[in-house]
Structure 1
Amino acid sequence: MSTILETQAEASTARRALQRVKEHLSARSFLAAGQWAVTLLICAFLIVPVVMSILAGLTVNYFRGVSSGLTLRWLGEVWTQYHGSVFLSLEIAVATLAITLVIGVPAGYALARSKTRASRIVEELLVLPIALPGLASALALLVLYGGFTAFRTSAMFIVVGHVLFTLPFMVRAVAAVASSADLRTLEEGAASLGATFRQRFVTIVLPNVRPGIVAGALAVLTLSIGEFNLTWMLHTPDTKTLPVGLADTYASLRIEIGSAYTILFFLMTMPLLVAMQWLGVDATGQRRAGAKKRKPPRAS
């Protein structure tokens, strides 16, 4: 009899445990479903307006919708009127990237190596242009350099503004990677073998901070191409960039033209974003592979 009672008790305990497991799995499934629902709603909230804008730029009449038919007429008109802005924006973005690479990579490395109060003050001063409104930074540039007519009316004037705005993103990205990587040990080892500072910087520092450089370059390019507030105040009729042209189309032309301009903007930036993201993933993978190769063997 006692054996039967023990068996029944064990069976009852097993059933309760199984019930608790089912309830736990059910709760987790419900939580996962809720997370997916929230994620899909956020994606829809972000993507649907873009899709609607693209459709508006491809329809014959925006107010009649897709039923009015699809056309590439508006894209043709936008390209005819604003293709100069496309190339100008690319030139300004590339020039901005080149300058921020030359200045930002060494600056980020130096800030990561230095732990003094002065380096922290310099780092905070670099971030200052981000804290200020773009119009305020543009006004400061106009007050300082507005008297130099040739410089004021050139695209380099906008490049200077973009460098001031985007440089902190490059410096912060490089400094973050340089701080986390064990560069000091690697450099000391190379120095003990007779490597000069230039050799150490090129062969050790740059390969190890490559993920930060790629992340900073992505930020610089996208911010430079899409920057409006600062550019709107610095531009002239001969130096009109993509965001400024986009604002003009929405303010003075048909909504189909503005939407077609958005498509042009999208087609120009998306391949760039995908390429830079691919480079970032590739750089991170190579860095991890290199770390695994340098991992010392376990003692047997």
Structure 2
Amino acid sequence: MKANRFWSWLFLILGIAYFVLPLIGTVEFSLKMRRGEYSLDAYWAVLADPRFQATFGYSVMMAVATIIAGVVLIVPTAYWIRLKLPHWRPFIEFVTLLPLVIPPIVIVFGYIRLYNTSSWLPLTGTAAGTNLLLMFGYMTLSLPYMYRAVDTGLRAIDVRTLTEAAESLGAGWLTIMWRVILPNVLVAVLSGAFLTFAIVIGEFVLAALLNRPAFGPYLQLIGANRAYEPAALAVIAFAITWACMGLIQLVTRFQKHTMARR
């Protein structure tokens, strides 16, 4: 038992060191912009850059739009599959896994091929159309995470009983979705939303090939032309991702605490 515990702790420490040491090195390098001392000059330079503000704001806007569109699409679909079409679940799960198998570069080239200015629906001909196409691309990339989060939330409740009870009180389909189903899977939806936000903030391929002013291409541009600012941006992006993960844990704990009190 002691030998097993020793090897378990050893591998745990090695795993933590594998992830933490590069992060510590990046943080230290980002603080060395001022020769001979540590400073936050690289962070101030990045945060004061108008391109950072514009690209980060654009990506946040696209993330919010992607989350809203994803919730509108996925929650009713997962609910209907679970309630009326359970035999379709294996097929839907297979479809939602495809974005993990198909590279984003293949997806975006398919979009460009189908929706260029000479096609039947020229979305790439205008900025609004390209933004819409980019949002669809982000929805595709986040589909495995959002769908599974919502599906897990639906498994935790008795969908059929809730639906029958609401219908017996005269509720329509929209009322059932908005006032019965969505509040019960809200924590699962928020978990999928935070994961979607992290994906959109760090995504590069779709935004770069569609030529949109997103945060991912800005990260690549700064990394190719600066020294200390890319390290600061990497730390900021890492902090945003971990903040999303922390919010997921916080929301999950809040749900467990609420259920325990009930």
Do both share a fold (TM > 0.5)?
A: yes
The one-letter code matched in structure 1 to 2:59 is: S
Structure 1 residues 287 and 227: alpha-carbon distance in aligned structure 2, compared to 1, 3 A threshold? farther
How many Å apart are 1:127 and its aligned residue?
3.1
Between the aligned partners of 1:124 and 1:183, the Cα distance in structure 2 is 22
How many pairs align? 254
The one-letter code matched in structure 1 to 2:161 is: T
The residue number in structure 1 matching 2:79 is 109
Structure 1 residues 195 and 156: alpha-carbon distance in aligned structure 2, compared to 1, 3 A threshold? closer
Structure 1 residues 74 and 209: alpha-carbon distance in aligned structure 2, compared to 1, 3 A threshold? same
Corresponding residue to 1:44 among 1, 17, 21: 17
User: Equivalences for 1:120-131 in 2 at 5 Å?
Assistant: 120-131=90-101
The residue number in structure 2 matching 1:54 is 27
TM, length-normalised to structure 2: 0.84
Structure 1 residues 89 and 194: alpha-carbon distance in aligned structure 2, compared to 1, 3 A threshold? closer
How many Å apart are 1:72 and its aligned residue?
2.3
TM, length-normalised to structure 1: 0.74
Structure 1 residues 124 and 259: alpha-carbon distance in aligned structure 2, compared to 1, 3 A threshold? same
How many Å apart are 1:93 and its aligned residue?
1.0
User: Equivalences for 1:138-287 in 2 at 5 Å?
Assistant: 138-147=108-117, 148=122, 149-151=125-127, 154-234=130-210, 236=211, 239-254=212-227, 256-287=228-259
Structure (1 or 2) with the larger CA radius of gyration: 1
Structure 1 residues 169 and 251: alpha-carbon distance in aligned structure 2, compared to 1, 3 A threshold? same
Corresponding residue to 2:68 among 76, 85, 98: 98
The residue number in structure 2 matching 1:85 is 55
**CA displacement, residues 9-29 of structure 1 (integer Å, 9 cap, x when unaligned):** xxxxxxxxxxxxxxxxxx2x4
How many Å apart are 1:116 and its aligned residue?
4.9
Between the aligned partners of 1:200 and 1:102, the Cα distance in structure 2 is 14
Q: Is the 8 A contact 1:107 1:171 kept in 2?
A: no
The residue number in structure 2 matching 1:64 is none
Where does the alignment leave 5 or more consecutive residues of structure 2 unmatched? none
Between the aligned partners of 1:168 and 1:38, the Cα distance in structure 2 is 30
The one-letter code matched in structure 2 to 1:168 is: P
Structure 1 residues 160 and 186: alpha-carbon distance in aligned structure 2, compared to 1, 3 A threshold? closer
Q: Does 1:132 align with 2:105?
A: no
Between the aligned partners of 2:258 and 2:97, the Cα distance in structure 1 is 30
How many Å apart are 1:137 and its aligned residue?
0.3
Identity %: 22
Q: Is the 8 A contact 1:57 1:257 kept in 2?
A: yes
RMSD: 2.6
Q: Is the 8 A contact 1:108 1:175 kept in 2?
A: yes
Between the aligned partners of 1:193 and 1:98, the Cα distance in structure 2 is 29
How many Å apart are 1:222 and its aligned residue?
1.2
Between the aligned partners of 2:248 and 2:39, the Cα distance in structure 1 is 31
Structure 1 residues 154 and 230: alpha-carbon distance in aligned structure 2, compared to 1, 3 A threshold? closer
Where does the alignment leave 5 or more consecutive residues of structure 1 unmatched? 1-26, 62-66, 291-300
Between the aligned partners of 1:124 and 1:151, the Cα distance in structure 2 is 33
Q: Is the 8 A contact 2:195 2:245 kept in 1?
A: no
Between the aligned partners of 1:36 and 1:222, the Cα distance in structure 2 is 31
How many Å apart are 1:267 and its aligned residue?
4.2
Q: Is the 8 A contact 2:55 2:218 kept in 1?
A: yes
The residue number in structure 2 matching 1:10 is none
